[in-house]
Each structure stands twice: as structure tokens, then as C-alpha cells.
Amino acid sequence: MTDNIIEVRDLTKHFPVRVGVLFKKTVGHVRAVDGVSFELKRGETLGVVGESGCGKSTLAQVLMRLEPPTSGQATFEGRDMFAMKGAELRKLRRDIQIVLQDPYTSLNPRMTVGDIIGEPFEIHPEVAPKGSRREKVRDLLDVVGLNPEYLNRYPHQFSGGQRQRIGIARALALKPKVIVCDEPVSALDVSIQAQVMNLLGDLQTEFGLSYVFIAHDLSVVRHLSDRVAVMYLGKVVEIGTEEEIYERPTHPYTQALLSAVPVPDPELRGKRQVIRLEGDVPSPVDPPSGCRFRTRCWKAQDLCAQEEPALVTRDAGDHPSACHFAEQRAIVP
Amino acid sequence: MTDPSTAASGSSVEADQFVTGAENAKPTTTKPRSLASDAWRDLRRRPLFIVSAALILLVLLMAAFPFLFTQADPNYAELSRSRGTPSAQAWFGYDNQGYDIYARTIYGARASIIVGLVATALTVLIGGTLGLLAGYYGGWLDGLMSRIADIFFGLPFVLGAIVILSSFGSTGTTSQTQILFLVILSISLLSWPTAMRIMRSAAITARQQDYVKAARALGASGPRIILRHMLPNAVAPVLVYATIALGAFIGAEATLSFLGLGLRAPVVSWGVMIADSRDIIRVAPHTLLFPAAFLTATVLAFVMLGDAVREALDPKMR
């Protein structure tokens, strides 16, 4: 148990939907995150995948304590994250950092790179004495593969990939134990994506970081992750090691997602069966009864509408899957 | 603009085009720079800034030490020289009462500049602060402040100023300083909602940016986010408004003087002079021309200054 750095139990985040001008009436809730549980082990990367609007980013915000959770628990090194206040919360901020999705808006355009990366030291002055900060910022720039002489430049003078490196340097400044990566590469060119991901991989080895790596691209997640959680409409539908998810998926949603990953080998192209999902993701305000995926699932039966499948290991698989009819199906050729 | 791919290569030759001369000279010992120092370095090289700053300095000098510019008494009138045209004795001629227009223009700078500057500063300070707070905290605080602003917004400017000036300044006893103070107060009291609305919308835009989220994730305090992240990114529209408002406020002071509520003789201001010349514009246009030219030049200088500062504060425009 002790090597679990973060444990999340039944985490929910509902956003109220309000109508009315003066007297607002709550007419419903967007169930952005609805009962998510997982653990993150020390030094491991947990990939979180799912299509847009399934609650991945909300999960990141709640984990960062940028948004209060509606219910559920989360512990960091055994201590309740959501109960922390004052000095303890400041310490938590040092231990968990975030890399945001869009490198074009995540850096203040009116601050120099030196000021951006140095800001963590100003907020947490106990980390670095005043005189050594400049040197530390230069070191950080060096670590993420940027020229330390770029200290006095502004974000607009950099490319997307370089900006994301600056964002990573800022997240690294306080020597965190966990970095939440909220789609850190989805705004970048494919060629730059690989660079940034390799950098993240190298940093993990160097500093012993744990990552919660959020993405909507399965191949990106596979490259870095030790374990993968697949999310659909605010719930984890399947969770397992990288191999279990990619080689032996048992949830129909995972299978559909995997069947859509482009095949790099032209010889094999077209030989694979692509599962096409019909329709859109249902509204998270009013999710379907029972299994949330049933409206788009080709296996759906009456049982799926009545009973919500639990995320447990079933006979057909070797890892937890939230499907009544979980079965293996070879997807990747 | 800068081509990211060349910046990415990091080779010294290509990188040179992104570095300033000072950085280039001694690349190993770069001094830390901030937005403020960069802005100041940039400003000093801008002709627009130099010209406007020189003009403003001159006007401020006029306001502080008018006797340096003229020996004539601005309050000495001689009806025999009424409406006299510009000559060697009086460069700007004489007005309807026979006052020396040059002397009055010089002496009038003080009241006009004080009203314009202080009223603008107060308006921007009150409106800007409230706008930032409303934009950052949102919720009921924003609702309350916005509604209060709406109330002031609903008051017509002249009507509101008349009410304030006539209820607080009983004509007989109040001194000129008090009237000046009341004029400034009524102008800023009736104008801050505009500054607040501009600042509020800019602050709301800035607050939703990811860099604010990143700062919060770092544990930055509210004041820090407001001052370091939101203010620099939200100040530009207010700065533009302030430079425009400055001219309008000097004009507003004239309006109030014209209505008999603002400054009165023996205090001179450009607004009073412009108001005095209204009946004789066609027979003696120079009575309007000279004070109006000074007013226009001063306002223009402040607008140019505001423009230069705004551009210097935006790294992308350097």
C-alpha cells in the first residue's frame, strides 16, 4: 500500500446547471466526473484516455485542487488531499504540479521566461534562497533542453514545442513528486509531440516522477504509460496495465477506441476490423441508466439498461472492466 | 513575426535576430530583466515617447512655474485693448476683457492640468481597482459592484455634477481650492463606472487564461494573481480610455465653469478661457484658438504617451 502515492476513491465532480437571471434555479448537474477510483504508484505513469467531454480534464482540475470535488476521497502519501489547508496545502502544491494543454495560453505573455520559471520560487521562497534562483532557472531551462540564455525572452518568441518545454520547466521547478499532464501534447505537431513525450519520459527517469498522463490519443498514452484508465462519460470503464489494455481489451468502448488507432504498417492496413460507434456521447447532464455506454454499444441488452456494471475483474479478462459482457477481442493486428 | 523554427534550432547565427544588442555584446552574463525594465528600455528609443514626454514636461513646467514663461499679469485687464490681435507685446493678442491671452494660457495650464490629471488618476484608480476585484472574484461581489456602477452610469454627467457641486459648494464661502477639489471629485465620481467596466471585462478575459490556472496550481495568492498576471494583461484598454478621458475631463471642467459651477475668476483655466470666447469666436477667433491649441496639444501628448506605454508593455509589439 505504501508505494501508492495517490489514491482516489469514488471521486465525483458535478457542475450545477443553473437557469434564471436574478434568482438562479438549479435544474440539473453535469456529471463531469462520476465515481472515479484509481491508484497511482510511485514512479509510475497512469494514462487516462477518453474522448472529448468525458471528464479527463475535470479530473485533473480536481486532483490539482483547482476545483473542489463534489464527493469522494483522495489521499496523497496517505493524507487526505481535500482536507488540506494552509501550510499543508502549500506543501501539496509543491508536490503535485500540472502541465497544461495549450502552450499558447498557459504562459503569461507579459512575463519573461525567467520570470515564468522563477515564479514557483517566489511563491515558495523556502525552496530556493534568493541568490540561487537565477541559477536554478538556468538549470531548469537546460534540463528541458532549452538554451539557458533564453532567460530574458518572452513566450511569443518561442514555438509551441519550446513553450511546452517552458511549461514543463515551471512544473519541475519545485521538484514535485507527481505531475499531472493535461493533454500536454495534443496542441503540438506530431513531430514535436514525440520530442516532448521523450522529454517527459527522460525526466521521469531522472527525477523519479509519477505522472497522471491525460490524453485523447491512445498511441500517445501507450508510449509513456505503465497503466491505463479508459474513461467514458465521467466513469472509468476499464483499467489495467498498458499491455492488458492494448493487447487484451475487454470493454467494447476500449475495443472501439483501439480499432480507430491508425496502423503504421501499410501491409496490415485495411485488414483490421474497424468498429464504428454510432451517434454522439450522451449528455452528461442526463446520462443513460445502467451502463453509460449502452446507447452506442453493439452488445447492449436489457440488463445493461437496468444494472450498472461494476469495474471489477471478470472471467473473460485479467483486469477490471465495467461491462456485463466483457470479452477479449484482438484489435491490434 | 519571429519564425519559431529558426528559434528552435538554437544556433548562434540564427538566434542573433532575436536578441537585443546588449544581450549580444556579452552573452554569458545576461542580467535578469523584467517587463518593466524591458518596457523602459524600449520606451527610451521611441520617438513618439520622447516627443510626447517633452511636451508633457513643458506643460507641467508651465503649471508649476508659470512666471518662468511670462512677465505679464494674467489678471490685469484693460478694456481699451479688448480683442487686440497678436502683436509683439502680446503674442497671442487680448481677449474680450483686454486680458493678455498668452499670460492667461500659461497660467491656465495649472488648473486644467490638475483637474485633468487628478480626475483621470482617481477615475482609473477607483474604476480599475473595482474592475479588477469584480473580474477576479466574480459572484455576488461582481454583481454588487456592477449594480452600483450601473446606478452611477445612469446619472447624466452634467446633472450629477450640478447636484454635487451645488450641494457641497455653497457659492459664497468655498475657496478656489475647494471648488477645484469638488470639480475633480464630481468628475471622477461620475466617470469611474466606465473605467470599471472596461477593466472588469479585460480582467475576466485574463482570469480565464491558462496561465492564471497554472499560477493557482503553484499556490499563488489572490493578490499575486491579480497584480502579476491579471493587471499587466488587462491594463491596456484602461490605459487607452485614460488618455482619451484626460482630454474629456479638461473639457468637462470647462463645461462646469461655463455653467457657473466650476472655477471662477481670478482662477484661470483653459476651459474657462474657451468658455469665455464662445460669443466672440467670429470677430476674434484667436481668443479661442490659442487656449484650444494648448488643450489639444496637451491631450495629444497624453494620448501619444499612453499609446507608447501600451505598446512598450506588450512584448509582442516591440
A236-289 per-position pLDDT tens digit: 999 999 888 888 888 989 888 888 887 777 787 777 777 888 778 888 888 888
CA A17 to chain CA centroid, nearest Å: 25
Query: Does residue A186 share a domain with residue A330?
Result: no
Instruction: Residue A174: list chain B partners with CB under 8 A.
Output: 218
Taking the Cβ of residue A97 and every Cβ of chain B, the question of whether any pair is shorter than 8 Å is answered with: yes
Contact between chains at A101 and B210 (C-beta distance less than 8 A): yes
Contact B209 A158 (CB under 8 A): no
**In this structure, is residue A185 part of a structural domain?**
yes
How far apart are the C-alpha atoms of A246 and A225, rounded to whole Å? 11
Q: Indicate if A51 and A104 belong to the same structural domain.
A: yes
pLDDT reported for residue A107: 93
pLDDT by 10s per residue, chain B, length 318? 444 444 434 333 344 444 444 444 444 445 667 788 888 888 888 898 999 999 999 999 999 998 888 888 888 888 888 888 888 887 888 888 888 889 999 998 998 899 999 999 999 999 999 999 999 998 899 999 999 999 998 889 888 888 888 888 765 666 778 888 888 999 999 999 999 999 999 999 999 889 999 999 998 988 999 999 999 999 888 988 998 888 788 878 878 887 878 877 778 888 888 888 888 888 888 888 998 899 889 988 988 888 888 888 888 877
C-alpha cell read off for A119: 515564479
A160 CB neighbours in chain B (<8 A) are: 4
Range of the domain at A258: 248-333
| B83/A contact by beta carbon, under 8 A | no
Alpha helices in chain A (DSSP H): 56-63, 86-95, 113-123, 133-143, 160-172, 190-207, 218-224, 242-247, 252-259, 302-306
CB contacts of A134 in chain B (<8 Å) are: 32
Are B218 and A170 inside 8 Å of each other by CB?
A: yes
Which of A47, A34, A2 lies closest to A245 in space, CA to CA?
A: A47
Cβ of B35 within 8 Å of Cβ of A66? The answer is no
Indicate which CATH number applies to the domain containing A89.
3.40.50.300
Closest-CA distance of chain A to residue B43, Å: 16
Q: What is the pLDDT of residue B32?
A: 67
Q: How far apart are CA A13 and CA A31, in angstroms?
A: 6
The pLDDT value given to residue B2: 41
Q: In the predicted model, is pLDDT for residue A59 greater than 50? A: yes
Coil, helix or strand for A312? strand
Whether pLDDT at A215 is above 70: yes
Strands, DSSP E only, in chain B?
none
* pLDDT at residue B176, rounded to an integer: 79
Give yes or no: residues A157 and A264 share one domain: no
Q: Inform me whether the pLDDT recorded for A233 exceeds 70.
A: yes
Instruction: Report residue B306 as a C-alpha cell.
Output: 499612453
Q: Provide mean pLDDT across the span A157-186.
A: 91
Segment A111-128 mean pLDDT: 91
Residue A230 in any domain: the answer is no
Predicted local confidence at residue A228, as pLDDT: 93
Task: Report the domain count for chain A.
Answer: 2
- Whether the CB of B33 is below 8 Å from some CB of chain A: the reply is yes
Instruction: Quote the CA–CA distance of B3 and A165 in Å, as a whole number.
Output: 17
Considering the domain architecture, whether residues A221 and A259 belong to the same structural domain is answered as no
A61 shares its domain with A195: yes
Q: Are residues A181 and A311 in the same domain?
A: no
Please tell me which residue of chain A has the smallest CA distance to B11.
A147
Instruction: Name the pTM for this structure.
Output: 0.81
Q: What's the mean pLDDT in A302-328?
A: 85
| Whole-number pLDDT of residue A204 | 92
Computed over every residue of chain A, the mean pLDDT equals 87
pLDDT in tens, A33-51: 988 999 999 989 999 998 8
Q: What is the dihedral of CA B47, A111, B132, B215, to 10 degrees?
A: 180
Q: Same domain for A115 and A216? A: yes
What is the mean pLDDT of the segment spanning A185-208?
Answer: 88
Among B5, B32, B233, select the one facing A114 at the smallest CB separation: B32
Q: Are residues A171 and A220 in the same domain?
A: yes
In terms of Cα–Cα distance, which of A235, A282, A284, A231 is closest to A30?
A284
Contacts of B8 in chain A (CB under 8 A): 159, 161-162
Helix (H, G, I), strand (E, B) or coil at A5: strand
In angstroms, what separates the C-alpha of B8 from chain A's closest C-alpha? 7
Chain A's closest residue to B313, CA to CA, is A110
Domains of chain B, with CATH numbers? 46-79+89-317 (1.10.3720.10)
For residue B174, the model assigns a pLDDT of: 66
Q: Which residues of A touch B4 (CB under 8 A)?
A: 158-160, 162
- Does A264 sit behind a cis peptide bond, omega within 30 degrees of 0 on the bond before it? no
Instruction: Look at residues A108, A103, A94, A60 and name the one whose alpha carbon lies nearest to residue A171.
Output: A94
- Phi, psi (rounded to 5 degrees) for B313: -80, -10
**Do B38 and A159 make contact, defined as CB atoms within 8 angstroms?**
no
Determine whether the interchain pair B213/A151 forms a contact, defined as Cβ–Cβ distance below 8 Å: no
What is the sign, positive or negative, of the torsion defined by CA atoms of B65, B71, B77, B81? negative
Chain segment B294-305, per-residue pLDDT in tens: 988 998 898 888
Residues A53 and A110 in one domain: yes
Query: Contact at 8 Å (CB) between A237 and A306?
Result: no
Please report whether residue A112 resides in a domain.
yes
Phi, psi of A186 (to 5 degrees): -70, -15
Residue A144 belongs to some domain of the structure: yes
> Is residue A221 located within the same domain as residue A253?
no
A 246-275 near B (Cβ less than 8 A):
none
pLDDT at A3 over 60: yes
Nearest Cβ partner for B233 among A89, A109, A147: A109
Is A243 domain-assigned?
Answer: no
- Residue A189 falls inside a structural domain: yes
Q: Cβ–Cβ of B316/A89 closer than 8 Å? A: no
Does pLDDT of A305 surpass 80?
Answer: yes
The answer on A201 and A95 residing in a single domain is yes
Would the pLDDT of A154 be above 60? yes
In a domain, A37, yes or no: no
| Separation between Cα atoms, residue B193 and residue A155, nearest integer Å | 34
Asked if A151 lies within 8 A of B27 by C-beta distance, the reply is: no
Q: Report the gap between the CA of A271 and the closest CA in chain B (Å).
A: 38
Order the strands of the A227-232 sheet from edge to edge.
A96-99, A178-182, A210-215, A45-49, A227-232, A235-241, A320-321, A312-313
Q: CB contact, 8 Å: A75 with chain B? A: no
Cβ burial of A119 (10 Å; 0-12, 13-18, 19+) is buried
Interface with chain B: mutation pick from A21, A62, A108, A192, highest number of B CBs within 10 Å: A108
| Contact present, A151 and A141 (Cβ < 8 Å) | yes
Q: What is the ipTM of this complex?
A: 0.85
Q: Which amino acid is at A128?
A: A
Predicted local distance difference test score (pLDDT) of residue A331 = 58
Residues A58 and A181 in one domain: yes
Q: Is residue A51 domain-resident?
A: yes
